[in-house]
Amino acid sequence: MSDQPRAPLTTTTSIWPAAAILITGAVMLAVFMVINLVADQGVTPTTTTVPVVVGGLAVAPSTQVLSLCSHNNNMPSNISGVFLVPLKTSRSAPGRIPNAGAGDFDCYQPLHTAASAADLLGFYAAQLESRGWNLFSTGSSNGNPESLFQKAGNDGFYWVVGITVTSSSASSSNWTFRIYQNSQTI
């Protein structure tokens, strides 16, 4: 049993199995890309329009009474549509930017409108909800009628609008428009 020592057997390693997997993957990718190109229907552009709310109070063509609040360079584009008032609205006192710790933006404007409190709050409920604002609170802790609306701004923060009627009669209302950036992010 004295066999002569032999060198170990040598085998050649083939790269063809790995290449076959790579080629199969490339062919599958190409096939699905062709299917995607053939079946693609393209992107249809959508146009956005300003909603028209029928009935109730009419929207004033100019919002100069809210110019203190609306002339802010940091206002997100999807929030700026909130600055609307009913016809026959005027300032009843100078507005303020109180910076009450609500966020980076806080604006308060006292106004007077020739409409009842119910009509005024109904106007804002219809107009703001049709523009994507969420009515999340009605009433007030001090007894004055109030509506609070909230919307996620494309700046990453929630924005809140408050309409608070401070005094009213059957034909007129004194009220405040307040908008602020909530300090909590989306």
- DSSP characters for 73-141? TT--TTTGGG---BSSEEESS--B----SSSS-EEEEEEEESS-HHHHHHHHHHHHHHTT-EEEEES-T
- Host H or E run for residue 166: strand 157-168
CB 175 within 8 A of CB 165: yes
pLDDT reported for residue 91: 93
**Mean pLDDT of the 162-177 span:** 93
Residues β-bridged to residue 84 = none
Residues 131, 119: contact at Cβ < 8 Å? no
Q: Please give the domain boundaries of the chain with CATH numbers for all domains.
A: 64-185 (3.40.1000)
> What is the pTM assigned to this prediction?
0.68
CB atoms within 10 A of CB 142: 7
* Tens-place pLDDT, residues 8-66: 777 778 888 899 999 999 999 999 999 988 888 777 776 666 666 666 788 888 888 99
* pLDDT confidence of residue 49: 66
Confidence at residue 185, expressed as pLDDT on a 0 to 100 scale:
66
